Chain A
Amino acid sequence: MNARRRGRLLLLPAAVLAAGLVWCGAELPVLGTDRHPYGARSVAAALRQHTSNAVSSINFDQRALDTLGEESILFAAVLGAVVLLRQVRGERRHTPRAGYVLPSTRLFGVGLLPVALLTGVYVVAHGAVTPGGGFQGGVVLASGLHVAYVAADYRVLRRLRPLVVLESAEAVAAGSFAGLGLAGLACCAAYLKNVLPLGAFGQLASGGLVGVLNAAVGVAVASGVVVLLAGFLEQAVELDDAGEETTEGEG
């Protein structure tokens, strides 16, 4: 089936969808309305649970079971990508060459790397209090580590990144999210119930289980993204097709 026929085939579903969208659009509440029944209730619940970041309270307390599902999708996607990006038959592994890096770029990298990592840790750690959390901070941490690749070269990144540790950290963090939920089951007959002391509102150690689950997600996301990028970088830099034209790997 060629692209044009696929485009024509799209017309009917698109028409059905357009009709559905028009129908929904007519019933839509006005943008910016003051009436948010779910929002009002979850903000009240967040305040009751001493979690000043209402978004984190929803992700790791009120909807923690859903986040467990999302965490599992993340884990499965990373696992799948790692399995897919393995070295296949007929591929040669070669040592990446050192690329030339301007001394000023290298100096910039040395200065920026700790700042980037610290920012990531800060965003994860304060997830229950101020904007941020495990998902966002994890991505900041993982991409911050790749300053080493941008400002130096692949070999520096490889030394900074203990892949085996990170792969286990990903699994342990994803598992501990599920495991921490059992505490609620043991104490109060509700899975993922917030059983820890709630602490003082607005303090770093507030929100009870929110901070712990948030940290677990932070570790899982950070190590997951590093492992994912490691798979892709390995394909681009280290592996060569033995038969076909070789892709140049700039280190």
Chain B
Amino acid sequence: MSRALTLLWFAAAAWIFLAGVRGLTVSRNLVQAVGCLAVAQSSTYVLLLGIGYRAGASAPVFGDMPPGSRPVVDPVVQALTLTDIVVGATVTALLLALAIQIRKGHGTVDPDELTGLRG
């Protein structure tokens, strides 16, 4: 695999991350901000799966393939990505629950209008 493709993959992961972070900083809506955080987080999937990629290799599962018959991709990063997705989804849910409560307590989901603490 060529050097150019490697840089394209790395740049794609970095771009997704930065797009998410930028959205997070300029967002005027907490629900949108949570979405931006999910975008930033998903850049790690692109990065991790690219690290584990192996040209012409199969999935690291030997259910219907005798071990050693074909090269397999790196299962370590796949395991990391898999748990990341589920944990990320539940943490996103937690943040959305926070946004719902903020809307109830303050009547707004615009972070700029949330000034001062209220019990």
Interface residues of chain A, those whose CB is within 8 Å of chain B, are 1-4, 6-7, 9-10, 14, 17-18, 21, 24-25, 28-34, 36, 38-39, 42-43, 46-47, 52-55, 57-59, 63, 66-67, 70, 73-74, 77-78, 80-81, 84-85, 88, 91, 126, 129-131, 133, 135-136, 138-139, 201-202, 221, 224-225, 228, 231-232, 235, 241, 244
Contacts and interface: CB of A to CB of B under 8 A. Distances in A.
Contacts of A221: 86
Contact of A7 (B7, B25, B96, B107): B25
Contact of B54 (A4, A36, A228): A36
A18 B17 CA distance: 11
B1 A55 contact: no
A131 B100 contact: no
Given A21-B14, A42-B76, A84-B100, A32 B63 contact: no
A225 B89 CA distance: 9
A70 B27 CA distance: 29
Interface residues of B, number: 56
Interface string B75-87: 1111100110111
B6 A31 contact: yes
Contacts of B78: 55
Contacts of B107: 244
B118 to A, nearest CB: 13
A225 B97 CA distance: 14
18 contacts: A30-B1, A39-B72, A53-B60, A53-B62, A54-B61, A54-B62, A57-B75, A58-B76, A70-B86, A73-B91, A77-B87, A81-B97, A84-B101, A88-B104, A130-B61, A139-B89, A225-B90, A228-B90
B55 to A, nearest CB: 4
A34 B26 contact: no
A235 B22 CA distance: 30
A58 B79 contact: yes
Contacts of B61: 52-55, 130-131
Given A17-B18, A33-B54, A84-B98, A43 B63 contact: no
